[in-house]
Structure 1
Amino acid sequence: MQNQQEPMHQNMHTGAVPQQLNHGGHEVFDVHEVLSGSIGTLNQYMMLRQHIKDPELRDILDRQYQFIQDEYTSTVECFQTGKDPSKPTQSYKMNQGNDFVYGLTPSQPKKPMQSMAEISDEFISGAMLAACKSSASHKTMAALETTNPVVRRVLADSVPNCIEMAYELSIYQNKHHYYQVPQLAQQDMIQMVNSYAPAQGMPQTSNTNMGMNMKH
């Protein structure tokens, strides 16, 4: 029994672990959550696509679907092999500007749908936005728990892409008045914006403790 356990004990201390098994326990669980979440997002996008009415939203969904699918495949590949994915990580680029309309206008209170007939572009874009935000959180947490350097980098590279896709969807929603952005009163905003000053120079070290040590 001791002879069977000895090689494993040596691997734990020498790092002689096969490259494809170079993963910590927390990492394995968290990457599973990320991959399951990516599958859920892709399935959700696929189901929602048939209900889209706006061609612009359909274009956003198609571009994001393909990008998410490629990232999912790359993550699976490096997770299983421990090596760089065959396709390098990419940066997602949205096609629209980044102008937001600020302020609130009167609108009908939101409530749960009562039938499938109520599925709208507002609901679909909101569901997509929620999926992207969730993915950004899951990948950030997974990257912070990951010991495999390749998987960590692939996850970390993906987080800005999730943020960019979420931003693209929030801009789309804002443009169509689905997502309104309130602002503080101008005086309050100016005070908040200017409530911090830049840091300057290096901190000054005190010689008090040094002098005390010398006396002893």
Structure 2
Amino acid sequence: MQRFAAHEFLETQEALRSKHAAIEMHGVLAEMAQDPQLTGIINRHQQMIMNAYQQGISLLQGKGFNIAPAPIQLRVAQPTAVGLNNPQMAAPNPHPTRLSDMTIATLMLNWHKSGSAIGMLWAAECVDPGIRQYHVNGANACQQMAYETWQYMNAKGYYQAPQLADHTMNTMINAYQPQQQMLL
């Protein structure tokens, strides 16, 4: 029987419950999505989460698997657009029968961003190297899925990236001075 520290075991249980919920939630979101590109993103993310769920079960049951960070290959929507282009937000519908693609993408983005933050927090609490790496891998996968989701949203105009005026950015950048000497 595998022996883990209580906190890392309980956090891994929480991670598995979260992945379980994410698998189901992605299934619901894929059914509601109108844009085939968004559906493809949702399905890829769901598959990644399903793989991570199975890895977590194998790890806890002592069956082993390659815990090394796996390369994550997500598709890039298109180059990022920076700056605002007449942003518009429709009023929220408190009684929808179907979620909009913007709402679906927003839910995914926030889910993945939260997953990345909490995954790294869980990793920092682990003493077992395999469990630690499992949570690091999960956090990294979440941040990459969040970025892919954000790229989709940016390309569709759902999430525009504001930009500071050039003089403001230059003033802030030039406020920093390089270190004069290196301390050994």
Aligned to 1:73: 54
Q: Percent of aligned pairs with the same residue?
A: 28
**Counterparts of 2:9 and 2:127 in 1: how far apart (Å)?**
10
Return the offset for 1:72.
Answer: 1.4
| Residue in structure 2 matching 1:60, options 41, 44, 66 | 41
Contact in 2 for aligned 1:34/1:138 (Cα 8 Å): no
**Counterparts of 2:60 and 2:71 in 1: how far apart (Å)?**
20
Aligned to 1:129: 109
Q: Secondary structure in 2 aligned to 1:50?
A: helix
Deviations 1:106-148 (A, max 9, x none): 3444543232335111111111111111111121111011111
Contact in 1 for aligned 2:74/2:145 (Cα 8 Å): yes
Highest Rg: 1 or 2?
1
| Residue in structure 2 matching 1:39, options 17, 20, 29 | 20
Return the offset for 1:97.
Answer: 5.1
Aligned to 1:14: none
Structure 1 residues 106, 197: closer, same or farther in 2, change over 3 A? same
Asked whether 1:166 is paired with 2:146, we answer yes
Return the offset for 1:87.
Answer: 7.7
TM-score by length of 2: 0.88
**Counterparts of 1:100 and 1:89 in 2: how far apart (Å)?**
27
Q: Secondary structure in 2 aligned to 1:102?
A: coil
Asked whether 1:29 is paired with 2:41, we answer no
Number of equivalent positions: 183
Query: What RMSD in Å do the two structures reach over aligned CA positions?
Result: 2.1
Return the offset for 1:55.
Answer: 0.8
Gaps of 5+ in 2: none
TM-score by length of 1: 0.76
- AA aligned to 2:130 is V
Gaps of 5+ in 1: 1-17, 204-216
| Residue in structure 1 matching 2:132, options 145, 152, 170 | 152
